[in-house]
Chains A and B, each alone.
Chain A
């Protein structure tokens, strides 16, 4: 009788004990860096938006970033790099090399209500040793335009120049409709702006080491 009770208790407790004993995670997460590093985005950084209509193409640029923002590398694991930090770009700073086109883009992006375009850096798939040779990496960003935020995977090229400035070049195709914006149309629809845009940015950053 006593043996029978021990057997029942053992059977009931087995899954509980097994759960504690088998604590190995499905895939190992190796944290390489324990303290976060920071990249300070310099004012020479730029952003370009390329698009087209049925009669021409346009290229609008924010030639110089007017703030100093920081991107923090929060953790670096085998699964990727977690980032935090964002850059805020003034929609008013766009220059399409044609005053009418510039005003049109600002109006389309609803500049009066949403004067700032935000790019929030979320992660990188990996962080290679940064050298003068550009390395291709990918990463997630959240882009906020006209009050609508969407996440995108961005293809980057990362390199470092002789002055230890980190160059992060990213580009991505997106559409006006991603942000619930209506591409402008003129003369009863005879002139139509295409929905698709290419956004390319070039961040120049300085690493400022461990916090």
Chain B
């Protein structure tokens, strides 16, 4: 349990920096991709900002538990284990969620694809951290 929490926390800190740093750079250098977020579908009064920034830790702790439970199934080098873990998470969890999101919400294909890629990259990075710290 302690291992799950510590690796989750470390992965959370790394994902926090990379995710929000990447998002900041994305908004700055590719502003056109973010125009569609000016929509009441997305929270606009700042009341959920804390929850938004906690996401990196929520996903890290969840994936840390998932890794600890199934790490024996991921074989090979550190990079291969991290990549496979990321892809497994993306196919099992992200793809169906993106599918139902696109089918039910007034959002664009670009938006959904960017969320899928964002989650995939997060899961691969988390997988690499877990493969290194909790092999």
Contacts and interface: CB of A to CB of B under 8 A. Distances in A.
Nearest to A107: B40
Contacts, number: 68
A100 B39 contact: yes
Interface string A146-188: 0000000000000000000000000000000000001011111
B91 to A, nearest CB: 26
A55 B28 CA distance: 8
Interface in B1-59: 20, 23-24, 27, 31-32, 34-46, 49, 52-53
Contacts of B43: 186
A55 to B, nearest CB: 4
Contacts of A185: 44-46
Interface residues of B, number: 23
The prevalent SS among residues of A at the interface is mixed
A34 B35 CA distance: 55
Contact of B44 (A98, A108, A190): A108
Nearest to B27: A190
Given A107-B44, A190-B23, A55 B49 contact: no
Interface string B100-115: 0000001000000000
A187 B44 contact: no
A54 interface: yes
Nearest to B50: A188
Specify the main secondary structure of chain B where it touches its partner.
helix
Interface in A50-105: 53-56, 58, 98-101, 103-104
A130 interface: no
Given A54-B27, A104-B44, A108-B44, A188 B52 contact: yes
Q: Most chain-B Cβ atoms within 10 A of its Cβ — which of A53, A107, A186, A193?
A: A186
Nearest to A185: B46
A189 B49 CA distance: 8
Given A100-B40, A186-B37, 8 more contacts: A54-B27, A54-B31, A98-B35, A100-B106, A101-B38, A182-B45, A186-B42, A187-B34
20 contacts: A53-B38, A55-B35, A56-B31, A56-B38, A99-B106, A100-B38, A103-B40, A104-B39, A104-B40, A182-B45, A184-B44, A185-B45, A186-B37, A186-B43, A187-B34, A187-B52, A188-B20, A190-B23, A190-B24, A191-B37
